[in-house]
Structure 1
């Protein structure tokens, strides 16, 4: 569970002393012989399905570690997710997608309306000061009674949303790949991040119970539209997102639905591609969707948000982490249950620094997610005393065609010449080719 403040300070002090003892200071040697390289990843590739790309190179990922926003999930929640998708092998962002659907439903019930602009006024308030509840059934009952509620569900455990409509606190997991290129659950560590004091203090409007008003007035039924990565570079992360959303719809409707009607879900693919995502948004607008759940990638949300805002709908992502989205002009219509990468940058830097590397290469997908997280990690490393000259930044353009292979041979050569002993790879499914290029270039990986 979460550490106490005093324990966290003591641990941080010991950690900083350990960093100094490992040579991550201004006196770090400039020219050291190349040695085995430790691999690190982030939420886009620290997932079991990522290992499937290495079937012909078994064990390549052994020892790779990284971080992802992840709350410890109960066995019961995992069991219920598998009742939706029996083949589910990953759970990343499943809790966040579940909570995005439930929070949207609760906000609509409190607003007494499916009008997106009215729902948006209640979303932050659903997560702050009120009568605490942690299930869709209990929270919906309170909302129908006109009670102010404080939802604490699967991913949202401590602080509520900030003014920007995102979690003020988060839980991160440090994950490890084993010799079978699967995540070793026995080595997973959880740590809390963020600051509860940044939770919004703005009060939502008073609840408007729907009793006595007909569907024509409330706009029921509430329609949610998916904008999830069913195809494209991020498709490997879609199963848990889809399962979390489907389970939430099931739970909400089992509890009586919203405004007296079952919530409707209209499926949709973002394709991890702006053009495909825009087509899906247009389709949702024509279908009368009120809240769009997605997109998967931060860059896709940036691309479609102007269209969503123009249509007056809500975009609510369970997995966008680009820190810049906190400041984007969204007319109060963009929300997310995933935490900002300002928090993940600190967590990733911590994981890397524990191993005392001397030369660190950070390879990132060239988009707002990849370059944003790359910059956050670099800043945290430099704050901890790593010299700028000992950090090498590289980016790559993801192939336009998801079926095309990424060529990272030149980047791999640069990393080898840099004599990196740590390589952080920030990307989605295509980033497997970064690691394959390192192997092909003769870079020795530490397992």
Structure 2
């Protein structure tokens, strides 16, 4: 806003009358009011310690950034076991979900008495609902070998089991804060979402007790479809560590169907073509259950191939709410909760700070646009008018080495003048923060 001009005499009298000692007194030059400070918010794709390193020598720009991620309070013993797998682990995001995806797959195969994907799939939801409750791998496997119906409660799956669609009925979210260029664990708060009544009540097929404990089609072979490379590679270490830990503990407890479970590495590249090639390779190698993909959009791209091959796709980190109704012939599952739940948590985090204008910049894919729409809907329900919410998207780079140019987007955000900016994306979204800084946006820290 610009101040109107007036005479020096009038201005001097006004300044004297108001006892204002400002630099404007005695000057007839127009002056702009200070720019609105913008607080940054993030989601599960960027609320990681590794995200700050993407900004290099300007990593301090993330200080004060808040966000949410599917996160269950992790026991120190679980963290210690993960660190025994990967001593360099800096984050635990989706490690619990990855661990549980592998364990549930193993238990379902044991109850099915077979490694046939269709038979395993019929047991997966039932492993998490009804039956005799167990929360340790060895104890659960012992019950499954006896053909007993079980209700697995693991590291991420703590309150309720899966819905009929094969996803968690409830979720826990962590509200996280960046401070000193890293997530400050002491500030993390946890909030629950979802309803326990949403868990499936269907009775699964009766578990098989094998006479000699072995199955003719053993061993169970799992294949990784995790983001070793690409925009989501920063989330790979905890995902990989969770899967590796589960595999280690399942095999230490005697394996499945009388043999150790096998694992075949595989990269989804955060790229549909890379992921499709990995799926094709897994199919030729006899993989029955594919653990992944990392990103929701990648799972959408490969799911038709997985279904056509009669395999199971079990993701620990897909959150696109639209995947709840995807055509999968009963072969798609996830331990990560849908973004319909995270949208509420994110909106609540932002509204606590009282912003009146909010911009949401999202990666242009099913994950980004889906979560953007969920948050927008929740903000409007809370009374934020549509004219006070600005939605923007960006195309993910085809080549991770080519950064997205956010220059124009930063100018558009500055012109809108929001008090809050939500970034929905992966590592490639980091340059948006430096672009805002370059455009003169006052980032609140």
* TM-score, normalised relative to structure 2: 0.92
1:59 Cα offset (Å): 1.3
Deviation by residue 1:185-237 (Cα, 9 ceiling, x = unmatched): 00000011100101001110001122247543xx1000000000000000000
- Other-structure match for 1:19: none
Trace 1:11-50 onto structure 2 (pairs within 5 A).
34-50=35-51
Instruction: Tell me, in whole angstroms, the C-alpha distance in 2 between the residues paired with 1:213 and 1:125.
Output: 21
Given that residues 359 and 419 in structure 1 are in contact (C-alpha distance below 8 angstroms), is that contact kept between their aligned partners in structure 2?
yes
C-alpha root-mean-square deviation of aligned residues, in Å?
1.0
Are residues 1:335 and 2:333 paired? yes
Q: Indicate which of 274, 278, 281 corresponds to 1:280.
A: 278
C-alpha distance in structure 2 between counterparts of 1:315 and 1:210, whole Å: 26
For the residue of structure 1 that corresponds to 2:182, the secondary structure is coil
Alignment of 1:214-229 (within 5 A): 215-216=215-216, 219-229=217-227
State how 1:153-302 maps to structure 2 within 5 Å. Answer: 153-178=154-179, 180-212=180-212, 215-216=215-216, 219-302=217-300
| Partner residue, 1:350 | 348
The alpha-carbon distance between structure 1 residues 215 and 132, as it changes in their structure 2 partners (threshold 3 A), is closer
Contact 1:124 1:160 in 2 (8 A): yes
Secondary structure (helix, strand or coil) at the match of 2:227 reads coil
Q: State the structure with bigger RCO (CA 8 A, min sep 6), 1 or 2.
A: 1
* Mapping 1:128-147, distance limit 5 Å: 128-147=129-148
What secondary structure is seen at the aligned counterpart in 1 of 2:168?
Answer: coil
Distance 1:56 1:33, change over 3 A: closer
Please give the secondary structure, in 2, of the residue aligned with 1:107. Answer: helix
In the alignment, the residues of structure 2 paired with residue 258 and residue 297 of structure 1 have an alpha-carbon distance, to the nearest angstrom, of 28
Pairing partner for 2:423 from 417, 421, 425: 425
Unaligned runs of 5+ in 2: 1-32
Q: Is the 8 A contact 1:294 1:301 kept in 2?
A: yes
Aligned length: 413
Matched residue SS, 1:57: helix
Residue 395, structure 1, aligned to residue 396, structure 2: no
Q: Report the Cα offset of residue 34 of structure 1.
A: 3.8
Match of 1:408 in 2: 406
Q: Is the 8 A contact 1:34 1:421 kept in 2?
A: no
Counterparts of 2:363 and 2:293, CA distance in 1: 17
- Contact map agreement 2:214 2:259 (CA 8 A) in 1: no
Residue 436 of structure 1, CA deviation: 1.2
TM-score (norm 1): 0.91
Tell me the CA shift for residue 53 of structure 1.
1.3
Please name the residue that 1:76 is paired with: 77
Q: 1:365 & 1:58 partners in 2: Cα distance?
A: 21
Cα distance between partner residues in 2 of 1:319 and 1:342: 14
Q: Residue by residue, what CA displacement relative to the aligned partner does 1:224-267 show, whole Å, maximum 9, x if unpaired? A: 00000000000000000000000000000000000000000000
Question: CA contact under 8 A between 1:109 and 1:210: conserved in structure 2?
Answer: no
CA distance in structure 2 between the partners assigned to 1:33 and 1:278 by the alignment: 51
Residue 108 (structure 2) aligns with: 107
Aligned to 1:9: none
- Secondary structure in 2 matching 1:172: strand
Asked if the contact 2:70/2:336 (under 8 Å) is kept, the reply is yes
1:16 maps to which residue? none
Per the TM alignment, residue 58 of structure 1 is displaced from its structure 2 partner at its CA by 3.7
State the 1:33 CA deviation. 7.1
Distance in 1 between the 2:252 and 2:196 partners? 32
Equivalent residue, structure 1, for 2:55: 54
Task: Provide the residue aligned with 2:30 in structure 1.
Answer: none
Q: Could you report, residue by residue, the CA deviation over 1:4-38 in whole angstroms, capped at 9, with x for unpaired residues? A: xxxxxxxxxxxxxxxxxxxxxxxxxxxx9741100
- SS for the counterpart of 2:60 is coil
**What CA deviation, in whole Å up to 9, does each residue of 1:113-148 have, x standing for no partner?**
000000000000000011100011000000001110
Is residue 363–residue 394 contact of structure 1 (8 Å, CA) maintained in 2? yes
Q: Which structure has the larger Rg over C-alpha atoms?
A: 2
What whole-Å deviation, never above 9, does each CA across 1:81-121 have from its counterpart, x for those lacking one?
00000000000000000000000000000000000000000
Deviation of the 1:55 alpha carbon = 2.5
> Does structure 2 conserve the Cα–Cα contact (< 8 Å) formed by 1:128 and 1:199?
yes
